[in-house]
Amino acid sequence: MKELKVIQILTHSLSNLFPDYYSEDNRYKFYEGGWHVKLSKQILKISNDLNIECWGMEKTINKPISFEDNGITCRIFPSQYFKFLGELSIPLLKELNRITKHQNVIIHLHGVFNYTTFLVSLLFKNVPIIVQQHGDKSSLQGFHENLKENKIKAAAYFSLYLLKQEWFFERVVLKNIDRFFVLNEDARAYLSSIVGPEKVEKLSMGVDFDLFKKMDKTKARENLGLEANKKYVLFVGAFVRLKGLDYLLQAFSMVLREHPDSVLLLVGDGYYKNNLEMLAKKLGIENRVIFFPWVENRKLPLYYNAADVTVLSSLSEGLGLVGIEALACETPFVGSKVGGIPDIIKNFRAGALVPPKNPEAIASAITSFLNEKDKNFKVDRENARRYYGWESIVKRMVEVYAELWEGYYG
């Protein structure tokens, strides 16, 4: 057995986003199993000194599942959803307790403000713990963000903050965690005020810059069966309310007035798909919107390169991975001014920022790119690669693993 063991844990069901996520014959239908699985595969590419397991929870199963994937042991545990409190897997916590009694491990949790993270940091005090933020926020953050615009919603967030006793877990228990990796400045500032800035650093999801790169647009369209002479606007991601797709559809109906030959490509899946199909019909643009099923990572560069512009109209976003992938392919990008999206545009030195929930601004930015006479859209890939390339991210992660292992186990 390899010496240094890491257990990476996803702290929520992926079926929360994708109702049909789990199936016996295709466990990784979406996201290739999740961020923790992607990260683990990248780590094992550069380090043979780690034994990594990827754990998750799933409320749609009733018994634990275990399987191997490229040298990684993957385990999924049944979980339950408790109203107002969120999701929790007792079998996962029991198994973690059993293993930590007999083995030295590092626990790497994915998600901050949930009861799995709270309980692990409370119960496992002699084990090194790392937490990766995924764009999740505290109820107290929700309170402050809504205080000016929506006092009723702000009050609901504050009630939830008290009901879930987040005040205790945040101010007392999170201090037991050794290191936090976050996606944006808001998260860094909030967590630094609780646990101290020395425990918090920005480290994002990575992108393979050798895979996501510019290619011939005509060939990409040919490959996907798209017409060569159309204008294509692209969205990639989960069909969920927080992605702001209602506003993108409204914006696209405005774009069609100036560019009637344009087509909106929506690539992904999720619980909000039916709502989007109904809205497209209501706006009278259903014939100009094409839904594509979820696409595996290696094929995504075709879609970015076939598009004239990629849009991420999110209402809230931890990072905005789609923006990184699009700009790495040197495709014009329009993103909401939320979460880590402004950082992406700053680091690539390209793209357009728009206010969230603003169809007019989204339409204007899209139209601006579609009207652009100079097709030599320039991005600073090398600068962005320093922040988002898997190489630097994995190198830093392995350094932290080694540092914590030495500190706890010698």
Residues 400 and 375 in one domain: no
Does one domain contain both 382 and 395? no
Whether residue 139 lies inside any domain: the answer is yes
Domain match, 276 and 155 both: no
Question: HSE of 346 in the Cβ direction (CA atoms, 13 Å)?
Answer: 9
Residue in the structure block whose two tokens are 């408790």: 82
Q: Could you tell me if 261 and 316 lie in one domain?
A: yes
Question: Domain range holding 243?
Answer: 217-387
Contact present, 8 and 39 (Cβ < 8 Å): yes
Asked whether residue 170 is domain-assigned, the answer is yes
Domain membership of residue 211 (yes or no) is no
Check whether residue 142 and residue 266 sit in a common domain.
Answer: no
Indicate whether 168 and 273 sit together in one domain: no
User: What is the model's pLDDT at position 23?
Assistant: 52
Kindly state whether residues 175 and 128 are assigned to the same domain: yes
Alpha helices in 260-311 (DSSP H): 273-283, 300-306
Q: Is residue 212 part of a domain?
A: no
pLDDT at 86: 81
Long-range contacts of residues 401-408, Cβ cutoff 8 Å, at least 24 apart:
401/4, 401/6, 401/50, 401/106, 401/130, 402/4, 404/106, 404/128, 404/130, 404/178, 404/179, 405/4, 405/104, 405/106, 405/128, 407/128, 408/104, 408/126, 408/127, 408/128
Rounded CA gap, 119 and 6, in Å?
18
Which residues in 220-378 belong to E strands, given as ranges? Answer: 231-238, 262-269, 289-292, 309-312, 333-336, 352-354
Tell whether 361 and 401 lie within a shared domain.
no
**Whether residue 221 is found in the same domain as residue 200:** no
Quote the pTM value.
0.86
**Per-residue pLDDT, 248:** 98
Q: Are residues 121 and 231 in the same domain?
A: no
Partner residues linked to 181 by β-bridges? 132, 201
Check if the beta carbon of residue 133 is closer than 8 Å to that of residue 109.
no
Give me the pLDDT at residue 270, please: 87
Residue with tokens 């789990």: 22
- The total of structural domains in the chain comes to 2
Give the helix ranges, DSSP H, for 78-150. 90-102, 115-123, 139-146
CATH code, domain carrying 185: 3.40.50.2000
Q: Are residues 306 and 398 in the same domain?
A: no
Check residue 27 and give its pLDDT. Answer: 55
Q: Give one word for 270, left, alpha or beta, with left for phi > 0 and alpha for psi -120 to 50.
A: left
The answer on 241 and 172 residing in a single domain is no
Question: Looking at this protein, which amino acid is placed at residue 395?
Answer: K
Q: What is the pLDDT along the chain (410 residues), one digit of tens a residue?
A: 357 999 999 998 877 666 555 555 545 544 467 888 889 999 998 887 899 999 999 888 889 988 888 888 999 999 998 876 789 999 999 999 999 999 999 999 999 999 999 999 999 989 999 999 988 888 787 787 787 778 888 888 788 878 778 888 888 899 999 999 999 898 999 999 999 999 999 998 899 999 999 999 999 999 999 999 999 999 999 999 999 999 999 999 999 999 999 999 999 988 899 999 999 999 999 999 999 998 888 999 999 999 999 999 999 998 999 999 999 999 999 999 998 999 999 999 999 999 999 999 999 999 999 998 556 789 999 999 999 999 999 999 999 999 999 999 98
Would the CA dihedral through 381, 383, 385, 391 be positive or negative?
A: positive
- Examine residue 136 and state whether it is found in any structural domain, yes or no: yes
